Amino acid sequence: MSKRNVVRAAGGVVTRDAIHGASGGSLEYLVVHRPRYDDWSLPKGKLEPGESFEDAARREIEEETGVRVELGVVLPTSEYVDRHGRPKVVHYWRMTPVGTTSWNPNDEVDEVRWITAAEAATLLSYEHDRRLVSAVDNISRGGS
């Protein structure tokens, strides 16, 4: 299949220190609910013409969640066939919040949540999203 037919997207695993003192220094993860698909996923979206994966990742996180981010380490890329039978490649980064902008629920994303890795294991709709959160959580706890 030609490179032109591949859907290119970017997103991230956005983390922050857990707010609740009882969490013992664990992380929280930013997830979104998409009403069109009635699913929970990591924030991500398609590249605009001429846009880099990095710029798209930052833009999509801010548009979908109202959170401005800084890119961290590169995470594993997901490659799969989308709902329309097209090959799709999604580049991910670990990200940290650096600010917020105005955001309101909309047709694309109607809810945003900060959740623990344990909650992500059951809430996220897609295995590749659950694997990314698990990998980041394992690294943050000193694993490899």
Residue 143 above 80 pLDDT?
no
Residue 19 or residue 62, greater confidence: 62
18 close to 30: Cβ distance less than 8 angstroms = no
- The CATH class given to the 3-140 domain equals alpha beta
- Domain boundaries along the sequence of the chain: 3-140
pLDDT of residue 139: 86
pLDDT in tens, 101-132: 999 999 999 999 999 999 999 999 999 999 99
How large a percentage of the chain has pLDDT more than 90?
84
